[in-house]
Amino acid sequence: MRIVLSQQGWVFDGLSGLEWLFLQRLPVLVDELSADEGARLRLFPDPVREQDREARQGSGLDEDEEEIVDDWKEYVRPELQTLFDEACQVVATDLLAVQQGVVAVDADDEGAEKGEEQVFYSLEVKGDHVEQWNSTLNQVRLLMNEVYDLAESEKGLAESLLEQVEDSDEDAAASGKQRSRQADAYPQWLLLAQYGFYGAVQSFLIEQIMEI
């Protein structure tokens, strides 16, 4: 895959079937993973952390803090939810414009057979949709890290990739966290590869489009 700038915005060019699957899963994953209440709180954290409130109990600030949290839940959180939902809808609509192509594979390539063809995908996205894409990618990465316990640092991610430990239903039950249908089919290393793919796309959008 290459991500290149275009007159309209940017193009995902030469996507493999797996890379296209990763992109397709963006809005679906937000919907599936946000069903986990703990993960959902990662997107909408209270403005006053629980441990801060406990530490300041009896200081006379408790009622003010409760009012702040109530206002947050009543006014700010619903607005954020609407913005997040709208961003995912823009991404889902953009994904419908995917183009499919076929290229002949060189018979000299390892494992290739004469006359074999390879399917690839391309997708052009308007530049003024970059905020919605960045929002959706950010939501997915936060949710994936929360639900699947993915590594939060580059070092941890690399170590986890090397281990290639497969998820199990027992692990999910022990942690009490919601799993998407994807988690039952994906080994851990593939989830991490998907997580890294989203990070790479997000970095391109931030560096090449949003900071211009």
Tens digit of each residue's pLDDT, the chain (212 residues): 999 999 999 999 999 999 999 999 999 999 999 888 778 777 877 666 554 444 445 545 565 667 766 766 766 677 888 999 999 999 999 999 999 998 776 655 555 565 678 899 999 999 999 999 999 999 999 999 888 877 654 555 555 555 544 444 555 555 555 667 666 666 777 888 899 999 999 999 999 999 76
Q: How confident is the model at residue 84, as a pLDDT?
A: 92
Beta-strand ranges (E) seen in the chain are: 2-5, 9-15, 99-104, 117-126
CB 33 within 8 A of CB 41: no
Measure the CA dihedral 141/147/151/154, to 10°.
0
Rounded Cα–Cα distance for residues 82 and 37 (Å): 17
195-202, Cβ contacts within 8 angstroms, sequence gap of 24 or more: 195/141, 195/144, 195/145, 195/148, 195/150, 195/157, 196/157, 197/19, 197/22, 198/22, 198/26, 198/137, 198/140, 198/141, 198/144, 199/141, 201/3, 201/133, 201/137, 202/134, 202/137, 202/138, 202/141
Q: What is the pLDDT of residue 89?
A: 97
Q: What is the pLDDT of residue 49?
A: 55
103 within 8 A of 118, measured Cβ to Cβ? yes
C-alpha R_g of the chain: 21
